[in-house]
Amino acid sequence: MIAEILCVGTELLMGQVLNTNAQFLSRRLSALGITQQHQTVVGDNAQRLEDAYRLALSRADIVITSGGLGPTVDDITKRVAAKVAGKELVLFPEAEEMVRTRFQQYHRNMTLNNLSQAMFTADSTLLMNPNGTAPGAIVPMGDGKVVIHLPGPPCELEPMFTASVEPYLMARSGRALVSRYVRIFGMGESEVDTRLRDLENGENPTLSPYCALGEVQLRATASADTAEKALALLTPLLAEVKARLGNVVYAMEETDGGSLAKTAIETLRARGMTCATCESMTGGKVVAALVDIPGASAVVRAGLVTYQTDTKTILADVPAEVIERFGVVSVETACAMAEGTRKRLGVDIAVSTTGVAGPDGGTEDCPVGTVCVGVSTAGGTSAARLALSGNRERIRTLAMKHALHMLIEKAR
């Protein structure tokens, strides 16, 4: 079963609105195992919309539209679909009732043009819209194909999809889909790709890499007639990935949206450990990433951003002579920051960052991109010296990720 998303609205073409509907719909459709090959955006132009419908219906079984269900002359989505189906729009009394009720609830006057929101081709299935005035619809287009009309505002589209469209699609497909997300830190995308290329060519299960700064994520997906059978296809693939990549794999998860910070919080929570941070060049990014994770309050005790040199001594008890002797960017200072913070705040583990993010401040011994990341537990304190590259933002983000990764490794 192939679906295609067709978003209608000049505001999307002008960039006034970010197309979150396309992401929402495509994510939900893939989770249902429904193939998607194209997404299209067209403006409020009848001829171009008609062409877009004909093209989409020539290659997909289900065309999902978003937007253009309102009462204005610009709202042509239903009218043009009806034309393509060769049918007339007729007033649905129950839809009229929905629209009238909604206007009463919102204490707004209903003008006559609003009745267009209650008009559909006679064979349409109405979709309730509890969050707006325009109902949606499933519209038969012949040959078993359908157009599904959804409203444009995400706060209306998303609940309508979940409540009405998802059940319809699941019943139609009869397939189960299972995915796992493999998160990797410390190996570049092309190295991952080189090691896994043959596995990435599979059809079922599929394995697809996506890269973020300093990280690679793999999505492994299998489909079968039951979830158990799909999982059975997936399990050997995941074991092979792990065997080839080793411990750069820091998480293997059932849902998307993991991160180093999430794994760090989960690891610390599972171990019953508290933590604190002492950051210089990352400037609060490490602690902010940890506190972003719900449940951080049980784990994160405090964070120090010791940005100017003497505040490392004032706040984290770093001996001034360590800084003087080894330099502010040194493994010794990073160790003293982590250890001082751990002791001052009475936590089980503390991490630290100190480095030169640039664009200024580099020296011959300590060029831009030099970063020391330290970690301290009661069992000992250590630090790594890294040579990172890129602009200020990139160096700081990579340093943050290294600190989070060190926290995970040390806590495990």
Q: Does 173 bind a second copy (CB under 8 A)?
A: no
Nearer to a second copy, 26 or 173 (CB): 26
- Find out whether 166 and 231 touch, Cβ atoms under 8 Å: no
Q: Does 11 bind a second copy (CB under 8 A)?
A: yes
- For the stretch 207-214, contacts whose Cβ atoms lie closer than 8 Å and that sit 24 or more positions apart, written own/partner, are 207/237, 207/241, 213/394, 213/397, 213/398, 213/401, 214/185, 214/397, 214/398, 214/401, 214/402
Judged by DSSP in three states, 57 sits in: helix
Q: Does 174 bind a second copy (CB under 8 A)?
A: no
x/- map, 372-411, a second copy, by CB under 8 A: ---------------x-xxxxxx-x---------------
DSSP 8-class letter at 152: S
Classify residue 380 by burial, with Cβ atoms within 10 Å: 0-12, 13-18, 19+.
exposed
* Pair of tokens at residue 9: 């609205």
One residue of 2, 13, 170, 384 binding a second copy per CB under 8 A:
13
Q: Does 50 bind a second copy (CB under 8 A)?
A: no
* Pair of tokens at residue 155: 């706060």
**176-185 β-sheet, strand order:** 206-212, 215-224, 176-185, 249-253
Task: Compute the least distance from the CB of residue 37 to a second copy, in Å.
Answer: 6
x/- map, 284-313, a second copy, by CB under 8 A: xxxxx-xxx-x-xx--xxxxxxxxx--x--
**How far is Cα 241 from Cα 235, in angstroms, rounded to an integer?**
10
Q: Does 162 bind a second copy (CB under 8 A)?
A: no
How far from the centroid of its chain's Cα atoms is residue 96's Cα?
38
Nearer to a second copy, 187 or 231 (CB): 187
Q: Interface residues for a second copy in 68-97 (CB under 8 A)?
A: 70-74
Q: Interface residues for a second copy in 191-230 (CB under 8 A)?
A: 191, 193-194, 197, 200-201, 208-210, 213, 219
One residue of 1, 2, 36, 89 binding a second copy per CB under 8 A:
36
Task: Compute the least distance from the CB of residue 122 to a second copy, in Å.
Answer: 25
Binding span for a second copy by CB under 8 A among 78-86, 136-144, 322-330, 355-363: 355-363
